């Protein structure tokens, strides 16, 4: 596929420097809700300025350019190995240009590879789809918010959570309490109910591919998503944990079937610097649409 590396480099640059409009709109709205002169309003104003400045300067919104997560949907004939090679080259070049921080560390020796390449980086999730188009999505997820992700196994007596929707609600709100201040709030939750430990976490991250304003097609989950945001914002944790009106900007929940013996609730916390972007390539390899 022609120009694939150049297109992926542009995807990385855009994702690192520019937040998608749906996220910017929600942040701007919540900035207006904080009390005049409060620490929370001070934080939100700096956040809004930072979003503008990063775009203007074409530089990383946040210095922790995070885990590099590609999600690809492509036709059967698509060469996944060629994609992976192009993605690795684009990531190395983006690092040299300063779009990405040197962010890949050998877990045993502690040595930073210096180019963001190494086992598990970048991480690429590919699926087939019918038709000729190729959808490539990218999320950059920083370590601060990744560290506060949580996986609960229900029942959980600590928070009195049973294996039902109320139990799910209890553990999600507990996660919001535990996370306070640490994950760069106001944040967005991606949640998966069910699955095994690995698929559950992955599906919780896939929820973060949804737009802020979409509505869950499952009415039970749609109601829960709404309730979580309203309830979390009553906790008073606020931006950066300074106290204030906005603790969560959004919550997206998916469900997978589970084993009778298991009931996991996996929560991926995304910071306000919600870096997600994507494009559609036609069969000639040309970008025909930006997805966010």
- Looking at residue 211, the DSSP 8-state letter turns out to be -
In whole angstroms, the minimum distance from the beta carbon of 174 to other proteins comes to 8
In whole angstroms, the minimum distance from the beta carbon of 66 to other proteins comes to 11
Give the residues lining the site for other proteins (CB under 8 A).
39, 42-43, 46-47, 49-50, 53-54, 57, 59-65, 98, 101-103, 105, 110-112, 114, 142-144, 147, 159-160, 169-170, 173-174, 177, 180-182, 184, 231, 234-238, 240-243, 271-273
In whole angstroms, the minimum distance from the beta carbon of 165 to other proteins comes to 13
Q: Which is nearer to other proteins, 49 or 80 (CB)?
A: 49
Backbone angles phi, psi at 17, to 5 degrees: -105, -20
Q: What's the alpha-carbon Rg for the chain, to the nearest Å? A: 19
Q: Which is nearer to other proteins, 74 or 104 (CB)?
A: 104
Is residue 22 within 8 Å of 211, Cβ to Cβ? yes
Tokens of 75: 């036709």
Collapse the DSSP code of 87 into the 3-class scheme (helix H, G, I; strand E, B; otherwise coil) and give the result: helix
Is residue 116 within 8 Å of 68, Cβ to Cβ? yes
Q: Which is nearer to other proteins, 90 or 136 (CB)?
A: 90
In whole angstroms, the minimum distance from the beta carbon of 273 to other proteins comes to 4
Q: Which is nearer to other proteins, 47 or 267 (CB)?
A: 47
Give CA–CA dist 165/193, Å, rounded.
9
In whole angstroms, the minimum distance from the beta carbon of 64 to other proteins comes to 7
Give CA–CA dist 190/181, Å, rounded.
18
In whole angstroms, the minimum distance from the beta carbon of 96 to other proteins comes to 8
In whole angstroms, the minimum distance from the beta carbon of 187 to other proteins comes to 10
Tokens of 260: 């009778």
In the sheet that 264-270 helps form, which strands lie side by side, from edge to edge? 150-153, 264-270, 187-193, 248-255
Give CA–CA dist 127/114, Å, rounded.
29
* C-alpha atoms less than 13 angstroms from C-alpha of 138 in its C-beta half-sphere: 29
Q: Which is nearer to other proteins, 5 or 242 (CB)?
A: 242
Q: Which is nearer to other proteins, 100 or 255 (CB)?
A: 100
Q: Which is nearer to other proteins, 95 or 195 (CB)?
A: 95
Tokens of 117: 């390449």
In Å, what is the CA distance from 235 to each residue of 179, 185, 223, 292?
A: 12, 13, 19, 30
């Amino acid at each position: 596929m022609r120009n694939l590396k150049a297109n992926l480099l542009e995807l990385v640059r855009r994702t690192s420097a520019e937040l998608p409009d749906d996220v910017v709109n929600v942040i701007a709205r919540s900035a207006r809700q904080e009390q005049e002169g409060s620490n929370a309003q001070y934080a939100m104003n700096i956040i809004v300025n930072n979003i503008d400045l990063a775009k203007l300067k074409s530089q990383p919104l946040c210095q922790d350019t995070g885990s590099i997560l590609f999600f690809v949907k492509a036709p059967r004939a698509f060469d996944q190995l060629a994609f992976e090679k192009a993605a690795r080259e684009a990531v190395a070049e983006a690092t040299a240009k300063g779009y990405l921080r040197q962010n890949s560390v050998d877990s045993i020796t502690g040595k930073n590879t210096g180019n963001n390449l190494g086992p598990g980086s970048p991480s690429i999730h590919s699926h087939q789809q019918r038709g000729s188009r190729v959808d490539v999505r990218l999320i950059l997820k920083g370590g601060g918010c990744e560290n506060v992700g949580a996986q609960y196994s229900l029942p959980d007596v600590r928070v009195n959570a049973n294996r039902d929707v109320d139990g799910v609600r209890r553990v999600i709100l507990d996660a919001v309490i535990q996370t306070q201040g640490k994950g760069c709030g106001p944040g967005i939750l991606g949640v998966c109910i069910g699955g095994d430990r690995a698929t559950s976490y992955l599906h919780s991250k896939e929820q973060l591919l949804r737009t802020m304003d979409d509505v869950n097609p499952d009415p039970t989950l749609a109601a829960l998503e709404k309730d979580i945001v309203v309830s979390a914002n009553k906790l008073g944790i606020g931006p950066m944990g300074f106290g204030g009106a906005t603790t969560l900007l959004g919550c997206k929940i998916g469900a997978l079937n589970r084993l009778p013996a298991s009931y996991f609730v996996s929560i991926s916390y995304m910071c306000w610097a919600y870096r997600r972007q994507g494009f559609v390539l036609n069969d000639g390899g040309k970008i025909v649409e930006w997805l966010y």
